[in-house]
């Protein structure tokens, strides 16, 4: 395999076409196992322009061989249903005590006191300076009444040692991920930091927030982004569905010597509130009961067009889709056991099977189909749940699509679950250009963002 061919291998499934964009090291040979392992260990295949001398993002896999002791985790002594803000604060302190130190600054490979890791198979989407990936863009007026422009949002996620053990059970062999009967142990924690291009002049509460230089442009050019939001996801058997999802936001008006002390809890959620619909909300004054939203934060968004953070008052972050809710979105994580190529008939079927944000939130039937409580089940029968962790799900999709596209003879032998029987799964139905997928599917003007609009 020549150098150009390998470089294209790493990210062809995401629609990039220029070999000059590649940054993955060349493998020693063109054998499947060698190439798969090289891509697994690649930190970023995205381009970099104008900041070549800056420190680069380094993928870090610290997968314990045995389940870490989680009995001493500080949030376990706090009742999340009665004291959600205190529960969240304990998690925030735990996550930032070492990672947020200036000499580490979320470079988790430099943290010699604790074990943290990244999720595999995002090399095609992670920008090369901080390992950030593109998130949903914020429309004008979604973040503040002065916000007149679209804002781009990017994020980086890390996992604690308990979660890393779970990731290691899947990726013990980089050429053969095993997802059968997968679930994370209690105490697994994910942290996601979200940064935005929104300026303090339009979103005043961002004044003084943490700034990073991010290579977010398609050509690798950099832009300054500010920390707006921090998400937490924690596996906790006290949740009716097994997980708690929470969100913090930066607020310049809060006291504190550091940006992390000025993070305020937005909300904590443990269920989707299936019975909370447009009808019950508007006609019966129903409220979300399977979560908590900080009333002080909710009040500052109520006057904006979005009105609520999550649909009809469910917990959600400022960057997130106001027609959704944290846990509802994340429970969609699954493994189809096979490739689901972009723009293929299989993808059309997958999209129809997997409940998604209602196009019209005032359609009670559509909303009820999306806002479900599924416990530990998979959101689609006859598929493997990936335990509410979308980075695992998206990484698995990237791996399976790459195998099918570049090494189709290995597709069947690299899954330990039964592939989902899509009706149209034949070679004839493979799209002429299986690589066709925009590098930023959440940007302004795209179909996915247009469908994010309220229709009433």
φ/ψ bin of 337: left (φ > 0), alpha (ψ from -120 to 50), beta (otherwise): left
> What is the rounded average pLDDT of the residues 69-85?
97
Q: Domain for residue 45, yes or no?
A: yes
What pLDDT, on a 0 to 100 scale, did the predictor assign at position 4? 34
Name 450's Cβ contacts closer than 8 Å, sequence gap at least 6.
none
What angle do helix axes 390-406 and 32-40 make, rounded to 10 degrees? Answer: 150
Q: Domain for residue 227, yes or no?
A: yes
Strand partners, 81: none
Q: What proportion of the chain, given as a percentage, has pLDDT over 90?
A: 87
Contact between 166 and 188 under an 8 Å Cβ cutoff? The reply is yes
Q: Domain for residue 92, yes or no?
A: yes
Assessment of whether the complete model's pTM goes beyond 0.85: yes
Contact between 131 and 74 under an 8 Å Cβ cutoff? The reply is no
In this prediction, residue 451 has a pLDDT band, given cuts at 50, 70 and 90, of low
**Which SS3 state, helix, strand or coil, does residue 329 take?**
helix
Q: Domain for residue 268, yes or no?
A: yes
> How far, in whole angstroms, is CA 19 from its chain's centroid?
27
Q: Domain for residue 195, yes or no?
A: yes
pLDDT at residue 99 greater than cutoff 70: yes
Neighbours of 83 (CB within 10 A): 14
What pLDDT, on a 0 to 100 scale, did the predictor assign at position 23? 73
What pLDDT, on a 0 to 100 scale, did the predictor assign at position 444? 72
> What is the rounded average pLDDT of the residues 129-142?
98
Q: Domain for residue 161, yes or no?
A: yes
17 vs 108, which has greater pLDDT?
108
pLDDT at residue 70 greater than cutoff 80: yes
Place of tokens 């908590």: 292
Residue range(s) defining the domain that contains residue 56? 3-332
Cα separation, 288 vs 313, in Å, equals: 6
Q: Domain for residue 423, yes or no?
A: no
What pLDDT, on a 0 to 100 scale, did the predictor assign at position 430? 52
pLDDT at residue 432 greater than cutoff 80: no
Q: What proportion of the chain, given as a percentage, has pLDDT over 70?
A: 89
Name 56's Cβ contacts closer than 8 Å, sequence gap at least 6.
43, 44, 48, 128, 129
Nearest Cα to Cα of residue 246 among 195, 189, 205, 203: 189
Cα separation, 270 vs 244, in Å, equals: 5
Name 190's Cβ contacts closer than 8 Å, sequence gap at least 6.
157, 158, 159, 160, 163, 231, 232, 233, 234, 389, 391
What pLDDT, on a 0 to 100 scale, did the predictor assign at position 128? 97
> What is the rounded average pLDDT of the residues 286-305?
97
Contact between 190 and 157 under an 8 Å Cβ cutoff? The reply is yes
- Per-residue pLDDT tens for 136-155? 999 999 999 999 999 999 99
- Per-residue pLDDT tens for 244-256? 999 999 999 999 9
Mean pLDDT over each residue of the chain, to the nearest integer: 91
pLDDT at residue 450 greater than cutoff 80: no
pLDDT at residue 19 greater than cutoff 70: no
Cα separation, 226 vs 428, in Å, equals: 47
Q: Domain for residue 368, yes or no?
A: no
Number of domains in the chain: 1
């Amino acid at each position: 395999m020549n150098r150009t061919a390998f470089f294209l291998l790493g990210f062809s499934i995401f629609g990039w076409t220029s070999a000059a964009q590649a940054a993955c090291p060349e493998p020693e040979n063109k054998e499947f196992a060698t190439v798969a392992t090289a891509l697994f260990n690649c930190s970023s295949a995205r381009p970099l322009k104008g900041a070549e001398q800056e420190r680069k993002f380094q993928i870090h896999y610290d997968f314990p061989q045995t389940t870490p002791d989680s009995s001493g985790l500080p949030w376990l002594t706090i009742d999340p249903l009665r004291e959600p803000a205190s529960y969240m604060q304990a998690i925030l302190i735990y996550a930032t005590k070492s990672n947020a130190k200036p000499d580490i600054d979320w470079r988790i490979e430099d943290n010699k006191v604790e074990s943290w890791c990244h999720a595999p198979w995002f090399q095609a989407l992670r920008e090369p300076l901080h390992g950030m990936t593109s998130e949903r863009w914020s429309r004008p007026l979604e973040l503040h009444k002065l916000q007149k422009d679209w804002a781009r949002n990017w994020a980086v996620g890390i996992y604690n040692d308990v979660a890393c053990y779970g990731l290691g059970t899947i990726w013990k062999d980089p050429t053969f991920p095993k997802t059968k009967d997968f679930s994370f142990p209690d105490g697994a924690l994910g942290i996601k930091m979200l940064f935005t291009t929104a300026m303090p002049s339009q979103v005043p509460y961002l004044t003084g927030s943490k700034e990073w230089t991010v290579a977010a442009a398609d050509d690798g050019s950099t832009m300054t982004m500010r920390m707006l939001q921090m998400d937490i996801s924690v596996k906790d058997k006290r949740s009716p569905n097994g997980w708690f999802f929470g969100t913090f936001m930066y607020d310049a008006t809060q006291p504190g010597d550091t940006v992390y002390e000025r993070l305020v809890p937005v909300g904590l959620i443990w269920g989707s509130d299936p019975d909370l619909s447009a009808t019950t909300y508007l006609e019966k004054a129903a409220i979300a009961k399977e979560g908590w939203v900080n009333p002080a934060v909710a009040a500052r968004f109520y006057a904006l067009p979005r009105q609520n953070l999550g649909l009809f008052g469910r917990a959600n972050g400022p960057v997130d889709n106001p027609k959704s809710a944290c846990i509802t979105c994340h429970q969609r994580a699954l493994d189809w056991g096979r490739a689901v190529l972009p723009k293929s008939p299989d993808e059309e079927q997958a999209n129809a099977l997997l409940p998604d944000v209602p196009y019209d939130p005032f359609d009670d039937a559509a909303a009820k189909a999306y806002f479900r409580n599924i416990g530990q089940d998979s959101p689609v029968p006859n598929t493997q749940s990936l335990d509410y962790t979308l980075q695992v799900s998206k990484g698995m999709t990237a791996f399976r699509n790459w195998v099918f596209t570049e090494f189709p003879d290995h597709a069947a032998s690299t899954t330990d679950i039964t592939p989902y029987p899509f009706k149209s799964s034949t070679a004839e139905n493979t799209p002429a250009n299986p690589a066709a997928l925009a590098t930023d599917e959440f940007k302004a003007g795209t179909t996915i963002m247009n469908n994010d609009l309220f229709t009433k």
